[in-house]
Structure 1
Amino acid sequence: MGKVTLQSIADRVGVSRMTVSNAFSRPDQLSAQLRERILAAADELGYVGPDPAARALARGRVGSVGMLLNGALSEAFEDQVSAEFVASVADELARRGLALTVLTPPKDEAFVPARDVAIDGALVYTCEPRSAGVEWLSRRGLPVVAVDQDLGDSVPGVRVDDRGGARLAAQHLLELGHRDIGILGLGLRGEDGTLHHSDSFPSRQRMAGWSETLADAGVEPVVALAPYEPRGVAQGVARTLLETSDVTAVLCFSDVFAHGVVLAAEELGRTVPGDLSVVGYDDSPLAAANRPPLTTVRQDITAKGHLAAGMLADLLVGGAAESQLLPATLVVRDSTAAPRA
């Protein structure tokens, strides 16, 4: 049997091709009885539905939006914060009748997802601002919403008050009496193999918040950097920090980094918070599950995902979107205390 088309079904039922099309795309135009006859004939003939590419061409939309990542999807799902964000975005898009397509870095120039995948718009997430994927989306002229990014005034974004959240964390340690404070920040490995400060929006804002608050108190922190991947590197960097300095507290880029600091302290026979206070960032499930539970800065990941997806969906139907700044709050648990006398 050849390919089953709308005309094949129309011939079987004895109606027009447009009537069959309405049965799939505009069911309110037909009686329930006629639509059931058409669907039954389609099922009998093995019709799989309207061709997605043809429907996209007719509508001028493909019904899917991209999410630009700077690593493999498996890496995103290893991280609890990223996994929660991706899930919240997918849920909100599904509620609005849209699908999510993940755009990962290209293996080679033959296939560049940000350039070659059919999408109606994109969310830019966990990317360095000058990545090739960001540039390709800009060239394509697609509606874009930046998440935890600063892509300029022309691109609406959803960001967290990372600067304010970092200030709260640093002030908390100062109020406890700490003056020898370390920072475990996010590093990006350059072509020469050395680590540099990440240029991502959260990294820059958190570092600024910590540094400003400590400087106002006359405290000069000891700064160490670690990449987010592979896992375990942060623990090694933390151990070196603790072995080569007299810090009594460490401010961390994330809860994952904070967990690494706690493990490094344990390796060196130090207790948390007795010998060392540790502050994380994100308030991921890891923060509460850690032993001791982490003092951290909370951001609402689910709200951020829903808001970003909703903003992009509004742009796709001609709506307007204004950048939003979400609050960050300090959650005090058991990983911080006053320094030993």
Structure 2
Amino acid sequence: MTGAGVAYPDVRDLARDAGPGRQETSVGRVTLQTIADKVGVSRMTVSNAFSRPDQLSAELRAKVLAAADELGYVGPDPAARILARGSSGTVGVLFTQSPANAFRDPIAAEFFASVAEELAPTGLALALLPAKSAAIRDAARDVPMDAALVYACVTDTTAFDWLERRSLPLVFVDQAPTVERASSVLLDDRPGARAAAQHVLDLGHRRVALLTTAWGEQPGVAPDPATAGVGLVSRERVEGWMSALGPAGADVVAVHMEDNLEADALEAARTALTLPDRPTAVLCFSDLVAWAVVRVAGELGLDVPGDVSVVGYDDSALSRTVVPPLTTVRQDLAAKGRAAARAIEHAIAAAAPGAAPSTPEHVVVPTELVVRASTGPAPA
């Protein structure tokens, strides 16, 4: 697999070695022909049992696989199989955070699970390619993949540059595409955030804190709440909140977090709840951040929602286990995952040789306010 200006010597070596009868390699001395001789079928029949099961009856395939298992054959070599098929069966996911953070972030984890489940019947699997890792930047250049998801990620990285240079089909999630041919799946963040802000205004709150992410910025109180947040998702939520709070003349303070992680959220919550003019309502970037605010409020002897109302974002499982349960903005992660998987499948199909030209897809997933017990009237 090559892209513009990209060469892979190891793949060329495989191609040179993969002559007739060697497209699929063996383990030790057990070859496809060994299995064919044992079962009494052709070598192609054995090959189809592994690579094209629809070409065989279930009974014959089971017989071939049983013989292969008895002889200790583990299947075609993956590199040679990629060469033969012209497909790796892998979708890369470019992710700004580390792999560990991808699984600590409940929304990212649930989204990836939804995409993986949707892609499973197609034989495609996900491979995380965090943009901050030097080794993974090399992986973005070298790892065989059929397409890539660019997930809430800065694109001024070497890793993204390699994905683009390889001319891979791309789908952007939670960020606007920076490549004209790419599809996207975005959340309708601004209306959801505006609804959350209007909810606390309707409850009488006028001192409001915004807790949001600002990768690369100094954590703490932002200079101007109207321009707080870094990245598409953060900016959209801030602008949604401010579209209601600004015209209402609310006293707003914004607190930046380095990332949407527990330690960052707890630090931001302490900053907001110990301000000299403490807010009576806190609008949070995520349910995880809202949970941190509820926890810190308890440590400070504050009642939620009696002293401070708290609104999350995402309607994750966490929002329903926090005490009190969180008022939040719901995003349908399953729908977002399905949309991303479909966009990937369509992008791969459109990139196939001889495929008809297609228009990139741009899907917007709706949001809605869910009111629970973490919000109440502003204290007198």
Distance 1:18 1:53 in 2: 19
Distance 2:123 2:241 in 1: 41
Aligned AA (1:340): P
1:184 and 2:207 are equivalent in the alignment: no
Q: Which residue of 1 aligns with 2:68?
A: 42
Aligned AA (1:253): F
1:154 and 2:193 are equivalent in the alignment: no
Q: TM-score, normalised by structure 1?
A: 0.91
1:222 and 2:253 are equivalent in the alignment: yes
Residue 234 of structure 1 contacts residue 260 of structure 1 at CA under 8 Å; is this kept in 2? yes
| Local SS of the residue matching 1:329 | strand
Q: Which residue of 2 aligns with 1:21?
A: 47
Residue 181 of structure 1 contacts residue 251 of structure 1 at CA under 8 Å; is this kept in 2? yes
2:191 to 147, 154, 164: 164
Aligned AA (1:168): A
Determine what percentage of the aligned residue pairs are the same residue.
52
Deviations 1:138-168 (A, max 9, x none): 1211011111011235321111110111100
Shift of 1:231: 2.1
1:278 and 2:302 are equivalent in the alignment: no
| Local SS of the residue matching 1:66 | strand
Distance 1:212 1:225 in 2: 19
| Local SS of the residue matching 1:221 | strand
Q: 1:264 to 1:2 in 2, by over 3 A?
A: closer
Structure 2, unaligned stretches of length 5 or more? 1-26, 223-227, 351-357
Q: 1:47 to 1:282 in 2, by over 3 A?
A: same
Distance 1:95 1:161 in 2: 29
Q: Which residue of 1 aligns with 2:91?
A: 65
> 125-134 or 76-85: which moved more?
125-134
Structure 1, unaligned stretches of length 5 or more? none
Shift of 1:172: 0.7
Distance 2:44 2:109 in 1: 43
Shift of 1:176: 1.1
Distance 2:282 2:340 in 1: 32
Distance 2:262 2:48 in 1: 53
Distance 2:271 2:56 in 1: 72
Q: 1:109 to 1:67 in 2, by over 3 A?
A: closer
| Local SS of the residue matching 1:74 | helix
Aligned AA (1:208): E
Residue 70 of structure 1 contacts residue 126 of structure 1 at CA under 8 Å; is this kept in 2? yes
Measured on the aligned residues, the alpha-carbon RMSD in Å equals: 2.4
Residue 105 of structure 1 contacts residue 112 of structure 1 at CA under 8 Å; is this kept in 2? no
Residue 236 of structure 1 contacts residue 264 of structure 1 at CA under 8 Å; is this kept in 2? no
Q: Which residue of 2 aligns with 1:233?
A: 264
| Local SS of the residue matching 1:309 | helix
Distance 1:78 1:72 in 2: 10
Distance 1:32 1:92 in 2: 25
Q: 1:131 to 1:173 in 2, by over 3 A?
A: farther
Q: Which residue of 2 aligns with 1:291?
A: 323
Q: TM-score, normalised by structure 2?
A: 0.82
Distance 1:104 1:4 in 2: 39
Residue 128 of structure 1 contacts residue 199 of structure 1 at CA under 8 Å; is this kept in 2? no
Distance 2:300 2:56 in 1: 74
1:207 and 2:238 are equivalent in the alignment: yes
| Local SS of the residue matching 1:297 | strand
Distance 2:322 2:59 in 1: 60
1:336 and 2:375 are equivalent in the alignment: yes
Shift of 1:31: 5.9
1:132 and 2:158 are equivalent in the alignment: yes
Shift of 1:14: 4.9
Q: Which residue of 1 aligns with 2:30?
A: 4
Residue 260 of structure 2 contacts residue 289 of structure 2 at CA under 8 Å; is this kept in 1? no
Q: 1:54 to 1:237 in 2, by over 3 A?
A: same
Deviations 1:196-242 (A, max 9, x none): 85532211100111112211222241111112265223222222222
Q: 1:181 to 1:31 in 2, by over 3 A?
A: closer
Q: 1:28 to 1:272 in 2, by over 3 A?
A: closer
| Local SS of the residue matching 1:68 | strand
Q: Which residue of 1 aligns with 2:293?
A: 261
Residue 176 of structure 2 contacts residue 232 of structure 2 at CA under 8 Å; is this kept in 1? yes
Q: Which residue of 1 aligns with 2:20?
A: none
Aligned AA (1:174): L
Distance 1:136 1:32 in 2: 42
Q: Which residue of 2 aligns with 1:314?
A: 346
Aligned AA (1:295): T
1:75 to 93, 101, 111: 101
Distance 1:32 1:129 in 2: 47
> 271-280 or 149-158: which moved more?
149-158
Distance 2:314 2:338 in 1: 17
